[in-house]
Structure 1
């Protein structure tokens, strides 16, 4: 296995097309090659020689971190070489998927929806979930109610990402304006997570809507406090934070490889549940490689307490996620039917004695 931190601009290597940015998604059907999704001639070609998997060095992506570092992916992949890349946020990771630089991505629902919509349903499939919860709006002293946010500057990890959309929609529900250029009653400023911590400590940001462990880091390292825990905004406190998506052509050509990665993910989730201390150490070691230093134990404990690790994509919440993206102005409205293909996951779950999960009418299961 090889691992490297992804530089978003360097979308090279195995890319079939060279256009970058979100416009690349629109041309994806022409770039990605034939697949069953487009009615072409692609077919099951057996196991891939190698598979490139992308994820974040966040606790919300712990199933990927444990799957890679704990050897669960490699064990299931056998002779297929595993190569991994670390990203800061979903939109950059989606660009890499669209360019063919990665095959499988652990990613938030908003970028997954954007990729599906802009490729007219042909570019990707959600094949599993990975995590629920683990995102909060954390703010400085003096901000104790929504009314105190007037004129503040609040960070999100990246424009169009899952936390960015959640922040903009919540602000709108509180009666605030915010535009995609950083204007309005509250200035939303997409910022890399590590920079958010530093800028908050320097007094240049008033808070951020952040995934774990960054929300806990601002609280425990920089004196922030939680204004909104996102799980409180959802029925039963459950909403998808991290999905597993696959390029449609890779899924068609190499279902055996995708199934192997899903077996590894399910095994990693079991390890997270059965051995939380050992799994947390693996996660922390991987975060240290990407961020330069490990998390303190109190931050690690806080982050893990805020997240449910599950292969269930909680499909019943996805339409609401789309509605939020449309309201935030980062996503166009569309029909999400066909976005899920949970057949391989349910095969893996059945073999493991677990109940199958639902696509909520938005795909195959």
Structure 2
């Protein structure tokens, strides 16, 4: 385990003290609205905390704020007496299934699985409480593919049907006039959702023509298997900024244990600040954790390339979420969904205020309006 810098521990202690002082001055009047922590914060002198927090995340660099903060002990330190247990997933739909099944309480995840979870539960089951990462997704392909037209007749991989990269690929292909199938029927391009490690092996064997992948897997195909970038997803977004990973919490857990969720967000904030101040050390630690979780570290070339494609941010970049939802509808992986209420950034903005940071926006999709 990497020793935590003194200034990181100090940040956690400061956040905890400010939270405590803020809680003591809160009003105890009124009942909280369902799914909203805004009123819950004002309704209780002490925010309730859980005996356990079961957290999901992936062994991907796009989840660096979890890789680093869990491994170096920041998350458990922030949670205090609440026991932290973790589960590792390959893609968002599997994490959502675990959350729906009661196996986890919160998870770092991509936008489209979060949208699907919200839609499937009629807006009741989950809330997005924070951002985590922007960027870090690319369509990488073999030699001989240099334009969308060259993709006709090819087979491309994604991490899982309906995950963020799967939706992005299907939507982009549709915009380029290329048909895909969700059921394996006739199409211009065949999409084969699968484990990322399997994608690397099949691409090396010449059985795949490319893949739309998050980091570090896009860089692994480029550096380790000779792929080249056909499209960097950031080219599709204003100023190249879009949500790749954010943090969702089961609404019931958020309503019952807002104190624990706030401490989780304090840990995420402290970790993100440390990553920003120590990017090289954070990059190395992330790689060490990936080795622990997957059995193999990233090469230096892969690590450097992948890390440079990411931006760690607690801003969920809410403005990009509706577009992601529209992409899912266009791709046929989701029905049109009213996203009003999908965000509850109350606790995050409390944490940011306590650290003299500007609040982040929910893009008008906050839980208070539901």
TM range (shorter): 0.7 to 0.9
Q: How far apart in 1 are the matches of 2:99 and 2:288? A: 26
SS of corresponding position for 1:181 = coil
Residue 358 (structure 2) aligns with:
355
Residue 338 (structure 2) aligns with:
335
1:312-323 → structure 2 map (5 Å cutoff): 312-323=315-326
Give 5+ residue unaligned stretches, structure 1.
2-34
2:58 to 45, 56, 59: 56
| Deviation (angstroms), 1:364 | 4.6
Q: How far apart in 2 are the matches of 1:149 and 1:304? A: 28
Residue 117 (structure 1) aligns with:
119
SS of corresponding position for 1:36 = coil
- Deviation track 1:228-276 (CA, whole Å, cap 9, x = no partner) reads 0000000110000001000000000100000111111111111111111
Q: Is the 8 A contact 1:157 1:163 kept in 2?
A: yes
| Deviation (angstroms), 1:36 | 2.9
Q: How far apart in 2 are the matches of 1:280 and 1:216? A: 14
2:96 to 87, 94, 104: 94
Q: How far apart in 1 are the matches of 2:171 and 2:267? A: 35
2:201 to 178, 185, 198: 198
Q: How far apart in 1 are the matches of 2:165 and 2:233? A: 9
1:10-89 → structure 2 map (5 Å cutoff): 36-37=34-35, 46-89=48-91
Residue 289 (structure 1) aligns with:
292
Q: How far apart in 2 are the matches of 1:187 and 1:364? A: 38
Q: How far apart in 2 are the matches of 1:300 and 1:226? A: 16
Residue 271 (structure 1) aligns with:
274
| Deviation (angstroms), 1:70 | 1.7
Instruction: Give the greater-gyration-radius structure (CA).
Output: 2
Q: Is the 8 A contact 2:131 2:245 kept in 1?
A: yes
| Deviation (angstroms), 1:281 | 1.8
Q: How far apart in 2 are the matches of 1:364 and 1:235? A: 26
2:189 to 186, 191, 199: 186
SS of corresponding position for 1:217 = helix
SS of corresponding position for 2:179 = coil
- Deviation track 1:163-215 (CA, whole Å, cap 9, x = no partner) reads 00000001111110001123410001101100000000000100000000000
The answer on 1:237 being equivalent to 2:240 is: yes
Residue 23 (structure 2) aligns with:
none
Residue 223 (structure 1) aligns with:
226
Residue 106 (structure 1) aligns with:
108
1:301 to 301, 304, 309: 304
Residue 133 (structure 2) aligns with:
131
SS of corresponding position for 2:143 = coil
Q: How far apart in 2 are the matches of 1:182 and 1:346? A: 44
- Deviation track 1:335-363 (CA, whole Å, cap 9, x = no partner) reads 10000000000001111111100001000
Q: How far apart in 2 are the matches of 1:208 and 1:332? A: 25
Q: Is the 8 A contact 1:49 1:81 kept in 2?
A: yes
| Deviation (angstroms), 1:145 | 1.1
| Deviation (angstroms), 1:37 | 3.9
Q: Is the 8 A contact 1:343 1:364 kept in 2?
A: no
Residue 163 (structure 2) aligns with:
161
Q: Is the 8 A contact 2:78 2:266 kept in 1?
A: yes
